[in-house]
Amino acid sequence: MERLKRALVVIDVQNEHVAGALPIGFPETSGSLPQIGRAMDTAHLSDVPIAVIQHSAPPEFALFARGSRAWRLHPVVTSRPYDKLIEKAYPSTFTGTDFDWWLADNDVDTLTLAGFMTNICLDATAREAAQRGLAVEILSDASGTLAMSNRAGWASAERLHESTLISLHARFSAVATTAEWIAAVRSGEPLPQPDLIASTELGRGVAF
């Protein structure tokens, strides 16, 4: 079987999500940041190209203001080599960037996503990638989000993270731990793929 051509995509691992206005609540960054580092180290040693994505807003904005301390990439990223830096202004890494050109130049057929936030930028990137015909993987312990409450309801960080991953793994993306992904990279094998029918059938059989 032909080996996958993966790319590791590290999304919005910036100070805003660690000590800024949008601190990740689950998994805690004390756990997820080392896993992001492990994924980057494995990718580098395995010749998997790495794209680092940095969300950028105008300097007068309250979040991710270009040039601010909160906007800067976290040291877990800047202390490691990577192949491509992309600034984005929208949730999907594809929108308004040259990301698709970089993927084509590197013959990438499988995206591995890590970073923040699971339910916004990873979700948007995963869905668009899948609809463009790319395989997608998300590292569950190298990503995360925070609690949210609005007119639609309330969700803890844990519930929001896990619910997003459940939805993505049903249709758009394989979901795995960093350790499982590292083993797959070393073997060249794909991760277990999304299965909507199996997910819904299993869901109906779960008692709460």
133-164 per-position pLDDT tens digit: 999 999 999 999 999 999 999 999 999 999 99
Tally of domains in the chain: 1
Assign 206 a pLDDT band (cuts: 50, 70, 90). Answer: low
- Strands (E) across 14-116 are located at 50-55, 84-88, 110-116
The answer, yes or no, to whether residue 208 has pLDDT greater than 50, is no
Assign 2 a pLDDT band (cuts: 50, 70, 90). Answer: low
Output b/e per residue, 76-102; b: 16+ Cβ within 10 A: bbeebebebebebeebbbbeebebeeb
Task: Report if residue 18 sits inside a domain.
Answer: yes
Task: Report if residue 183 sits inside a domain.
Answer: yes
In this prediction, residue 202 carries a pLDDT of 77
Helices (H), 86-208: 99-105, 123-131, 157-171, 178-187, 196-204
Task: Report if residue 1 sits inside a domain.
Answer: no
* Cβ-proximal residues to 151 (8 Å cutoff; 6+ apart), any chain: none
> What mean pLDDT comes out for the span 84-93?
98
Assign 16 a pLDDT band (cuts: 50, 70, 90). Answer: very high
Assign 6 a pLDDT band (cuts: 50, 70, 90). Answer: very high
Task: Report if residue 176 sits inside a domain.
Answer: yes
Task: Report if residue 58 sits inside a domain.
Answer: yes
The identity of residue 145, as a single letter, is T
> What mean pLDDT comes out for the span 52-61?
98
> What mean pLDDT comes out for the span 93-103?
98
Structural domain including 74 reads 6-204
Task: Report if residue 77 sits inside a domain.
Answer: yes
Q: State the virtual CA torsion across 170, 32, 21, 122 in degrees, nearest 10.
A: -30
In this prediction, residue 9 carries a pLDDT of 99
- C-alpha 14/C-alpha 194 separation (Å) is 29
Q: List phi, psi (to 5°) of 62.
A: -75, -25
The identity of residue 43, as a single letter, is A
The answer, yes or no, to whether residue 1 has pLDDT greater than 50, is no
Residue 158 neighbours by CB distance under 10 Å = 14
> What mean pLDDT comes out for the span 87-107?
98
Output b/e per residue, 117-150; b: 16+ Cβ within 10 A: bbbbbbbbbbbbbbeeebbbbbbbbbbbbbebee
Task: Report if residue 37 sits inside a domain.
Answer: yes
The answer, yes or no, to whether residue 195 has pLDDT greater than 80, is yes
Assign 19 a pLDDT band (cuts: 50, 70, 90). Answer: very high
CATH of the domain at 133: 3.40.50.850
Task: Report if residue 150 sits inside a domain.
Answer: yes
